[in-house]
Structure 1
Amino acid sequence: MNHSLDGQVAIVTGAARGIGLGIARKLKADGARVAIWDLDVAGCDAQRLGFEADHLQPVDVASYESVERAFGATVEALGRVDILVNNAGINGPVVPSWEYPVDAWQRVLAVDLNSVFYCCRVAIPHMRARGGGRIVNVASIAGKEGVQYISAYSAAKAGVIAFTKSAAKELARDNVLINCVAPAMVETELFREMSDQHIEASKAKIPMGRFLQVDEVGSMVSWIASPACSFTTGFTFDLTGGRATY
């Protein structure tokens, strides 16, 4: 089966660092032209990214108007979009739900859930008109299980999974396949936002006894976005080291 992405154009949101950068590197290595979307793309040169980006696009994914402008600019620069990876996200505070700051709740849902809708809202008509495409939404095990003290993040990622299922059914005959990945905790700089207790508790839930690596996420996303994944849509692919078996 064909896993090559040669000639395809991919957008990866939140791709200036962390999981998004790992995904972007893998898509590029597999032959895609890659547009880096991030709130701040300053300094995203080939040395820091590890590859030469085909397009750098500053965008606030929590703003529909910003997403709409960014998509237009990307199409103008690269001609089309075949693959969209909705990766941008934030963790938010680690506190009990009854103490969760209202403004932080709204911000987490805006960045982690609304952005997925906004990006799909602008990309899907383009893909349908072109006869197909692939969308991969980065959810989380928290969206399946609900994780204590990160209720906004859990709720947002559960919303991403449900939105993906709904949109996938609508698009099933349009050759626009939309799937999720649900990682467990990945070793990135976002660890700085979490307490040691939260990190250790998360690791203890993973039967493999280690955290997910960025390269492993990239490999899974690249396969889902490729022609090799041809008869699966609306599915959530597990990346939890055995924590989730459903």
Structure 2
Amino acid sequence: MGKSIIITGASSGIGRATAEVFLDAGWQVGIIARRREALEGLAKGHDKAVVLPADVIDSEALSKAFSEFERQVGRLDVLFNNAGSFGPSGPIDEIDLDEWHKVLNVNVSGMFYAAQLAFRQMRRQTPQGGRIINNGSLSAHVPRAGSVCYTTTKHAISGLTKTISLDGRPFDIACGQIDIGNAKTELVADLNARALAANPDAELMPMMDVIDAANAVFHMASLPPGANVQTMTVMATKMPYIGRG
């Protein structure tokens, strides 16, 4: 059947670009997102795409999606744990608690659910093992101003990655994190729009093509079982990451 991967948040942005890279490379690709029609559009013309509509914050729906992928494909080699939300911008005292919980549910609980399901399947399949790649962020290391919700959750993902990496060793389950900066996606376009709304003269951040992020994920996923990228930072060359903060 060849190599297999599940990608969450596959309907747009980094997730969609990554799914296209893996499909073009001949992988079996399970694509998870809330919008079935967007997933079906992505899968059109790709007989190795498995459409799995589910919301990552719905643990039952997500479990059914993973079970369906296992039924159709038989094995899960890689999870790209990608689905995420930026949420509201502003200082902490201006953040609505309902909005805080929404970001926490997607970026932490949703990624936990997906990682748990992948780990469980990789542990019991034969041969045992696999790889989990968590989508972190530059905000897992240095925040943007006004990003308390997003930044807090991405620091949590760094802890999730390290723990899974440690706990996965006895079962040949590798775990790594990719921290992506300013790829040309809908999320970054929204951030730019917010910046321009606040200041029409704002200087927008340098951006890279989203395919560069997707290719970096493909590199991590394609390593042999005995090798792992624990952390990778890929970003636009001129982003003020080093020295910012």
User: How far is 1:102 from its partner?
Assistant: 0.5
TM-score, scaled relative to structure 1? 0.86
For residues 51 and 144 of structure 1, do their structure 2 counterparts lie closer, same or farther at Cα, with a shift above 3 Å needed?
farther
Change (3 A) 1:212 1:227: same
Question: 1:79: how far off?
Answer: 1.7
Contact 1:11 1:85 in 2 (8 A): yes
Alpha-carbon displacement from aligned partner over 1:109-143 (angstroms, at most 9, x marks no partner): 11111111101111112102221111111110011
Query: Secondary structure of 1:90's match?
Result: coil
The structure 2 residue matched to 1:84, chosen from 79, 88, 103, is: 79
Cα distance in 2 for partners of 1:69, 1:153 equals 28
Structure 1: any 5+ residue segments left out of the alignment? 1-5, 204-209
The one of 128, 132, 136 aligned to 2:129? 132
**Contact map agreement 1:212 1:239 (CA 8 A) in 2:** no
Distance 1:118 1:180, change over 3 A: same
Cα distance in 2, alignment partners of residues 212 and 137 from structure 1: 20
From 172, 176, 179, give the equivalent of 2:173.
176
Structure 1 residue 21, shift from structure 2 partner: 0.5
Instruction: Describe the superposition over 1:169-221 as per-residue Cα deviations: whole angstroms up to 9, x where unpaired.
Output: 11123221110100112211224532134895661xxxxxx312210111111
Deviation sequence 1:37-62 (CA, Å, 0-9, x none): 0011214345x557525210111101
User: Counterparts of 1:18 and 1:232 in 2: how far apart (Å)?
Assistant: 25
Q: Does 1:68 align with 2:63?
A: yes
Query: How far off its partner does 1:12 sit?
Result: 0.4
Please list every run of 5 or more consecutive structure 2 residues that lacks an aligned counterpart in the other structure.
Answer: none
Q: Distance in 2 between matches of 1:169 and 1:202?
A: 39
**Residue 162 of structure 1 corresponds to which residue in structure 2?**
159
2:141 matched to which residue of 1? Answer: 144
Q: In the alignment, residue 107 of structure 1 is paired with which amino acid?
A: K
Determine the structure 2 residue equivalent to 1:35: 30
Structure-2 separation of matches of 1:104 and 1:14 = 19
TM-score normalised by length of structure 2: 0.86
d(CA) in 2 for partners of 1:50, 1:201: 38
Alignment match of 1:10 (pick from 5, 18, 28): 5
Match of 2:39, SS state, is coil
Segments ≥4 residues shifted beyond 6 Å: none
Give how far 1:227 is off: 2.9
Answer yes or no: is 1:96 the counterpart of 2:91.
yes
CA distance in 2, matches of 1:71, 1:39: 14
Q: SS state of the match for residue 60, structure 1?
A: coil
Q: Which residue of 2 aligns with 1:105?
A: 100
- Residue identity over aligned pairs, in percent, reads 25
Count of paired positions: 233
Distance 1:40 1:120 in 2: 21
Report deviation, 1:20: 0.2
How well do the aligned residues superpose, as a CA RMSD in angstroms? Answer: 2.3
Give the counterpart letter for 1:156 in structure 2.
T
Partner Cα separation in structure 1 for residue 38 and residue 215 of structure 2: 25
Amino acid at match of 1:226: S
SS of aligned partner of 1:145: coil
CA contact (8 A) 2:43 2:51 kept: no
